[in-house]
Structure formats: structure tokens, C-alpha cells
Amino acid sequence: MSKIGKLPIKLPEGIKIEINADMVKISGPRGEMSLKIANVLKLDQENGVLVLSLKKTNPKYFAIYGTTRALLSNMVQGVSKGWVKELELVGAGYKAELSGKTLVLNVGFSHPVKIEAPEGIGFKVEKTSITVEGIDKELVGQISAEIRAVRKPEPYKGKGIKYKDEIIRRKAGKAAKAAGAV
């Protein structure tokens, strides 16, 4: 049985939960989100804690159980604190600008690359760092991955767009290989 699914979800102050037959609506200071729940799961709210349980015990439902609990936990954190991903621009002349809700990247191409912020996502730009913020963890991660995919970090000089805590494995260049062969 899922060890994650059994864990209760603590609700911070200011979070309101509406539980219908198969929908859960969570609202907080940063916004509101909803999730459809499988009919084999039962959700209870007791003393500021959400408890998820299975109506039927069948090994097929264990994956749904743990996944749903993780999604609910992410939603609670999203509407209370929000989610943030930070990216860095590494390279001479690489820069990012914010034009309204559009992120404009100049990363060595002959043209600037424009990325439009979807509903619920905000960008912040400071010199060589980009911050992506929002209440939906999945959407924040997806937009961050799309920004990184514009110019992935290359292994020889490390130039490109990388996550703040990402470590780039560097390769030895041609000169290092030739010196080792002689």
C-alpha cells in the first residue's frame, strides 16, 4: 500500500476546502485550484488536516492513492506559498528582458526568442537570472523547462540557460585530448 497516500496533509491558516462528490476545490491567498478525484478515494477534512483513504483495497488503486495525495499537497502549498523556479543565463552577451507578460531572450541567435507567460505564471528578471512563479507546480516546471530548452547548457564551456542549482558536467576539449595522446 502507498506510504505517501497515508500521510495527512496539514492545512495552513487561510486555506479553504470544498469537497464535492468527485471534485475538490482549494482556495487560499494566492488563488484557487481544483482537482477531480477518482471514485475509489475518500477525502475527509478534520481539525485542519486533510486525510485521503481508499474505499476499496485493490493493488491497482495504490498508485492513484499516492499520486492524488501528492497532487493535493502540491495544490495546498501552491495556494498558500506558491512555487518558484530560478534559472541562470551563462554566456557573454546573453540577456533576458521582460516586456509586459512576455519574456524576451537574447541568447546568441540571430533573433530574440519570445516566451509568453500563460495565465497564473509570472516572470521576474534580474541581470542574469530569471524567476518563474505561480501556484501550479506542474505549470511552473513546464514553463521553466521550455525556457531552458531555448538554449540548453553545453558541456564544453557551460554556456546556456540552466537551473540555479544545476551542475553542468564539463567535458575536456580537443586540445586536452590531443595533449593526453602525445
pLDDT tens digits, 88-132 = 999 999 999 999 999 999 999 999 999 999 999 999 999 899 999
Q: What pLDDT does 174 receive?
A: 81
Q: With contact defined as beta carbons under 8 Å apart, do 82 and 122 qualify?
A: no
Q: What pLDDT does 172 receive?
A: 86
Given a cut of 70, the residues of the chain with pLDDT beneath it are 1-2, 176-178, 180-182
Q: What pLDDT does 59 receive?
A: 84
Q: What pLDDT does 173 receive?
A: 81
User: Residue ranges per domain, the chain?
Assistant: 3-80, 83-163
The CA distance from 175 to 131, in Å, is 37
Superfamily of domain 83-163: Ribosomal protein L6 (3.90.930.12)
The CA distance from 42 to 131, in Å, is 37
For 3-80, CATH number out of 3.40.50.1820, 3.90.930.12, 1.50.10.10, 3.40.50.10860 equals 3.90.930.12
The CA distance from 7 to 154, in Å, is 41
Measured in residues, the chain has a length of 182
Q: What pLDDT does 11 receive?
A: 93
The CA distance from 8 to 16, in Å, is 16
Q: What pLDDT does 181 receive?
A: 62
DSSP string, 75-99: HHHHHHT-EEEEEEEESTT-EEEEE
Q: Same CATH fold, 83-163 and 3-80?
A: yes
Q: What pLDDT does 72 receive?
A: 96
Q: What pLDDT does 63 receive?
A: 87
